[in-house]
Amino acid sequence: MRRFHSYTVESYLAYLRNLKLKRKITDIHLHHTWKPTKKTYYLASNKEKIIYGMWKYHTQTLKWRDIGQHVSVSPDGLIWDGRDVNLMPASISGHNKNAFAIEMIGNFDKGYEKLEGAQLEAVKKLVKGLFEIFHTKKLIFHREYSNKTCPGTSLNKAMFLEEIENRIKILGDSVATKEQMKQYLLTVNPVPKIQCTPEEIVNYYLNEGATEGVRGDIAFAQALLETGFFRFGGIVLPEQNNYAGLGATNATQKGRAASFSSPQIGVRAHIQHLKGYASKEPLVNPAVDPRYTILAERGLLGSCIYVTDLNGKWAIPGNDYGEKILKIFDKFIFFSVKEESANREGILEENKKLKEDNMRMQEKIKKYEALFNTIKKEIDHFS
Ligand SMILES: [Zn+2]
């Protein structure tokens, strides 16, 4: 049986870097599978079978020499190998010669499934890595050469390319899940010194962030950086509920920083301060950040669009301050939460549907049996 193996993005890129390349690769092709869907993948007890199914279709039905794509990116952010990279793919007819083909498992047409979380981050990281390894910047969406919608109408190439450059904005929707954030924190520090539960602090970041239009997941990553994963130990004391070092500078003594009445208010102040850097829009909630007006006075409001713009502004000199935040963010976005708990709901729902289908079928069978018996009686009667 043709076997397939899964890699993390890092290990797949490491493999490629060591590969002796015998062909020129200049074009990175991006597709979505449409079918199998993300749901099919999640429900499969043996994930390799999903890739094998594509291989079977490509080789047996379409009569290709092997699976068409070089890699498949699964919803859990894994890279599954495929056709030998030294062979051209069966990707976009007439354009395969110098291509590397990626299939993202899912249907990303608007209104169907969403490219998000670990899968989105994996694709971005993969494409960025391929750009470096193959010395190219040429990403091609299948639809550019065909009338298909592939890789899905919900994907915008310009935005995708911007994100690949790690130009992550401070404002916007969070993409990490609550579970990823919580479990990653607890893996690094099982006993965070906070005055609430880890679940609550994650919820505060996501909710307060959503209220102000700030990415709560990014702010949370910043809090992990600023507090040393809520170990504290610097100027700020745990009971001050100050997760972003607001009002703390190197010159002040222990405890000489802003204090907040509760974890929620502490998170709110952090989110507000971050919003101040990222936007000139007024705050939604009354200001609890004591330094918000200082940002305005110094003309800093709206001066940082991207996380890396905080370098030299939020942190001085802070040459790689934003990069450090993104590194932490990267860790939890790839943190896969135990599958059973993440997919239990989907499986239960599927189970229920199957049971209902089964009952309907049983009823139909009974009806047909009755009908059959009636007809049989009639025939017996006439014969
Ligand atoms: Zn395609």
Q: What is the pLDDT of residues 161-206, one digit of tens each?
A: 877 876 789 999 998 899 999 999 999 999 999 999 999 999 999 9
203 lies in the same domain as 320: yes
Are 34 and 75 within one domain?
yes
1 HSE (CA, 13 A, CB side): 8
In this structure, is residue 358 part of a structural domain? Answer: no
Q: How many domains does the chain have?
A: 2
Last residue of one domain, picked from the residues 164, 188, 221: 164
Residue 363 lies in a domain: no
Residue 263 alpha carbon to ligand 1 centre in Å:
47
Q: How far is the CA of 155 from the centre of ligand 1 (A)?
A: 13
Question: Which DSSP letter does residue 130 get?
Answer: H
CA distance 297 to 286: 18
Same domain, yes or no: 63 and 35: yes
Residues 157 and 216 in one domain: no
Give the count of alpha carbons within 13 A of 289, CB side only: 26
Please determine, for residue 339, whether its predicted confidence score (pLDDT) is greater than 80: no
Statement to judge: residues 20 and 148 lie in one domain:
yes
Same structural domain for residues 70 and 107?
yes
Instruction: Tell me whether residue 350 is in a domain.
Output: no
- Domain end among 136, 164, 192: 164
Residue range 244-262, pLDDT digits in tens:
999 876 556 777 789 999 9
Q: Is residue 255 part of a domain?
A: yes
User: Ligand 1 mean position to 10 CA, how many Å?
Assistant: 24
Distance 145 CA to ligand 1 centre (A): 10
pLDDT-based confidence at residue 358 (cuts at 50, 70, 90): confident
Q: Which of 304, 345, 342, 16 is nearest to 179 (CA)?
A: 342
Question: For 81-93, what is the mean pLDDT?
Answer: 97
- Mark whether 160 and 276 lie in a shared domain: no
Say if residue 382's pLDDT is above 80: no
Are the C-beta atoms of 360 and 249 separated by less than 8 Å? no
Query: Distance, CA 31 to ligand 1 centroid (Å)?
Result: 4
- Judge whether 210 lies within some domain: yes
Whole-number Å distance between alpha carbons of 307 and 225: 13
267 touches 201 (CB < 8 A) = yes
Do 124 and 157 reside in the same domain of the chain? yes
Distance (Å, whole) CA 238 – CA 230: 8
Q: What is the pLDDT of residue 233?
A: 86
What's the pLDDT at 342?
47
How many angstroms separate the CA atoms of 340 and 98, rounded?
40
CATH number for the domain that contains residue 274: 1.10.530.10
Question: What CATH number should be reported for the domain holding residue 144?
Answer: 3.40.80.10
CA of 48 to the centre of ligand 1 (A): 21
- Do 230 and 86 share a structural domain? no
Beta bridge partners of 223: none
| Statement to judge: residues 20 and 67 lie in one domain | yes
Final residue belonging to a domain, choices 114, 136, 164: 164
Same domain, 158 and 206: no
Examine the domain organization and report whether 14 and 86 are in the same domain: yes
Domain that holds residue 126: 6-164
